[in-house]
Structure 1
Amino acid sequence: MSIHLTPLSHKLLGITANWMLFGTLWVQVYLYYVAFPKDTRILKWIVFILLVLETTQTATMTHDAIQALIIECTDPNVFNVIRKVWFSIPLLTGLIACITQGFYCYRIAVLTRSKYAVTLTSMLTLGHLAASIAVAIQTKRAILLTRLLSQKRSLVTIGMSGGCSLACDIVISAIMTHQLKKRDTGFENTHRIIVRLIRLTIETGCITALSTGSVLVLVYLPGHPPYYQLTASISAKTYSNAMMAVLNSRVKVVSNIGAYGAPWWNESVQPNGSNYLAGKAQDILFRKDSETGIERSNMDRCGTF
């Protein structure tokens, strides 16, 4: 049995997924400001700007959805009109991706100190931003989505934007993984931190690359079915959530229960100390990872400016 999704379904699914990732982003930003109040002001401003851009995108997409589904519901071309899509998806997605990829470019500069690696990632990032601005201009002029996707020039520009972004994500993941492996000293604490950072780098890189790649594949399907609208709606959120996941990876959630103390629910042992409160849940504290030799050098600067 095949399931046929109408353009309404793709738009609603895209907005719903966008709101879900938007809520996840708010939680991550809150945890970041609580756990790292002493981070540099530049990094805090970057996180704040990302949150403002993401809020603007979600609000704009929601406004367009309300206008299409309620105000202009009798228009037969209601799902074909571009409205503010040129601003909410190609332009804002390009800006958000540029900020997050610039953050990764700084991490590469700290780890590698290689002009070639930094230049390559910077060129791909700026190429993606320039192509995204061009796509936004072409989208605004097209007025209709079908007219936009029927123009060869627009398809080429979309391919350049997605191709630069996809290549940049792959290059960043490859360089970061290679450099982190080179800094593994073999000590247990350092090895554990390196393995965790490598896993996080690969996971976040795969998520952003998969999001961008899926948009490219779906846009170039024969007949241009509206499947691409779902993945394009969440592309920016994947970048911002991936960056916040990297920043918050420096945090450990620990309990204030002593290492060798009995839990408060064990009635056979009478707990001592003010940390054990019978009948009450223990507090959860935030703390940074304990410093090791690798953290005191370059690794500790990868998350700060």
Structure 2
Amino acid sequence: MESLDNTYGAAFVGLVASAVLYGVTLLQTFLYYKQYPNDSRFTKSIVFLLWILDTTHLILCAVAIYTYLIRNYNNPSALNRSTWSMNVQTDCNGLIGLIVECFFARRVWKLSRNIFLTALIVALAFIHFGLGVLFTVEGFILVETSKFPKLIWVTSTGLGSAAAADIIIAVSLCYYLTKSRTGFARTDSLITTLIVYSLTTGLITSIIAFICVVTFAIMPTNYIWLGFFWLIGKCYVNSLLAALNSRDSLREQVSPHREDGTFLQLTPFRAVASAQQSEPSSPIDAKSKEGSRFHDTPSMLAVTVQTQTVSKTDYGYLISPPPTSQSFA
């Protein structure tokens, strides 16, 4: 029997940390519905569903800790048995991961139109969720936590699939966003910001998943891995909400003064005389040439309009092809 520090002490610390992240989830959810009332019903439904699942997961974790530490106080034999809340909470995290990874897979599809890459991400997400359900079923069958070492392959494969999906999403987004560079400072600055977002969100969840796999493989009879596992769902939810809530700031980064992404630039226009033109032979010819030049030569100041479209969607931004330029005398 492991010590309480390594079992329910670690689980309690994980519960506190996940409760803090849940507070961030509440704030981001509130900001989303306040700032984006015109988003599609599909996106709003996803945010609402994730909030429900995240809330349910936190409640199940709290019920599990309460059952072990309060209701079974001074009952050591009960600490070695899994409870229904401890088993079911795994599925909430798995479903959250499935929804978020499919959401970002949609973003990869929009940018790349690569059906194989998108299908691979979705397949890994379903493997993660399916093995999470299997872990729950086995938890009810095994009952005793001392038998959990039999499930090392389930946890390793499931969380490994989640980590692989997150890494593929991050790398794919970085690759296709890099290919979208146009050479214009504001657009490239936006793309750089999106690349940083993609790397950050993908690496955080994949690192936590990797830590869960390693700690469960090394110490399957304690709950150090569980403390990290309870954080994954919160990180998934907050990564999606951060992607949605950052759209206004990204639009401002592209066009701080204009809503439509059109930039005006005043450039001097120089008239180039033809090499075959001869000098006027008389004052009359000079006046004639001067009058003709006055009417035919464009003005000395030309306006160059560079237009670039950045389309806001429910999953982020799409960068249009390189800007076009038009000159108006």
Query: Which residue in 2 is equivalent to 1:160?
Result: 157
Q: In the TM superposition, what is the alpha-carbon distance from 1:294 to its structure 2 partner?
A: 5.0
The amino acid across from 2:169 in the alignment is I
Query: How many angstroms apart in 1 are the aligned matches of 2:204 and 2:32?
Result: 21
Structure 1 pair 46/288, CA: closer, same or farther in 2 (3 Å)?
A: farther
Query: How many angstroms apart in 1 are the aligned matches of 2:260 and 2:102?
Result: 26
Q: Among 167, 183, 186, which residue is 2:183 paired with?
A: 186
Contact 2:14 2:231 in 1 (8 A): yes
CA RMSD of aligned residues (A): 2.2
Q: In the TM superposition, what is the alpha-carbon distance from 1:13 to its structure 2 partner?
A: 0.2
Q: Which runs of structure 2 are paired with 1:34-183 in the superposition (5 Å)?
A: 34-83=34-83, 84-88=85-89, 90-149=90-149, 151=150, 154-183=151-180
SS at the partner of 1:251?
A: helix
Contact 1:7 1:79 in 2 (8 A): no
Q: In the TM superposition, what is the alpha-carbon distance from 1:288 to its structure 2 partner?
A: 12
Equivalent pairs counted in the alignment come to 262
Structure 1 pair 300/41, CA: closer, same or farther in 2 (3 Å)?
A: closer
Higher mean C-alpha displacement, 166-175 vs 122-131: 122-131
Query: Comparing both structures, which one devotes a greater share of its residues to strand?
Result: 2
Query: Which residue in 2 is equivalent to 1:21?
Result: 21
Q: Among 196, 203, 206, which residue is 2:203 paired with?
A: 206
The amino acid across from 2:183 in the alignment is G
SS at the partner of 1:220?
A: helix
SS at the partner of 1:95?
A: helix
Q: Highest CA radius of gyration, 1 or 2?
A: 2
Structure 1 pair 223/245, CA: closer, same or farther in 2 (3 Å)?
A: closer
Query: How many angstroms apart in 2 are the aligned matches of 1:119 and 1:156?
Result: 24
Query: How many angstroms apart in 1 are the aligned matches of 2:258 and 2:219?
Result: 50
The amino acid across from 2:310 in the alignment is E
Runs of 4+ in 1 over 4 A off after TM superposition: 287-291
Q: In the TM superposition, what is the alpha-carbon distance from 1:209 to its structure 2 partner?
A: 0.5
SS at the partner of 1:237?
A: helix
Contact 2:6 2:224 in 1 (8 A): no
Query: Which residue in 1 is equivalent to 2:315?
Result: 302
Q: 5+ unaligned residues in a row in structure 2: which ranges?
A: 251-255, 262-307, 318-329
Q: In the TM superposition, what is the alpha-carbon distance from 1:62 to its structure 2 partner?
A: 0.9
Deviations for 1:182-220, whole angstroms, at most 9, x for unmatched residues? 111121221111111100000000111011111001001
Query: Which residue in 1 is equivalent to 2:288?
Result: none
Query: How many angstroms apart in 2 are the aligned matches of 1:291 and 1:195?
Result: 21
Question: Whose relative contact order is higher, 1 or 2, with alpha carbons under 8 Å and at least 6 apart?
Answer: 1
Structure 1 pair 231/33, CA: closer, same or farther in 2 (3 Å)?
A: same
Deviations for 1:108-163, whole angstroms, at most 9, x for unmatched residues? 111111111111111111111111111111112121221122x2xx2211111011
Query: How many angstroms apart in 2 are the aligned matches of 1:24 and 1:159?
Result: 28
Question: Percent of aligned positions with the same letter in both sequences?
Answer: 24
Structure 1 pair 215/194, CA: closer, same or farther in 2 (3 Å)?
A: same
Deviations for 1:82-105, whole angstroms, at most 9, x for unmatched residues? 1121111x2111100000001001
Higher mean C-alpha displacement, 59-68 vs 32-41: 59-68
Structure 1 pair 40/76, CA: closer, same or farther in 2 (3 Å)?
A: same
Q: Among 226, 229, 235, which residue is 2:226 paired with?
A: 229
What is the TM-score with the length of structure 1 in the denominator?
A: 0.80
Contact 1:166 1:213 in 2 (8 A): yes
Query: Which residue in 2 is equivalent to 1:242?
Result: 239
Deviations for 1:226-246, whole angstroms, at most 9, x for unmatched residues? 311210121111111111111
The amino acid across from 1:85 in the alignment is M
Query: How many angstroms apart in 2 are the aligned matches of 1:112 and 1:75?
Result: 56
Query: Which residue in 2 is equivalent to 1:196?
Result: 193
The amino acid across from 1:161 in the alignment is G
Query: How many angstroms apart in 1 are the aligned matches of 2:17 and 2:258?
Result: 33
Q: In the TM superposition, what is the alpha-carbon distance from 1:302 to its structure 2 partner?
A: 3.3
Structure 1 pair 289/250, CA: closer, same or farther in 2 (3 Å)?
A: farther
Query: How many angstroms apart in 1 are the aligned matches of 2:232 and 2:315?
Result: 24
Contact 1:252 1:289 in 2 (8 A): no
Contact 1:108 1:118 in 2 (8 A): yes
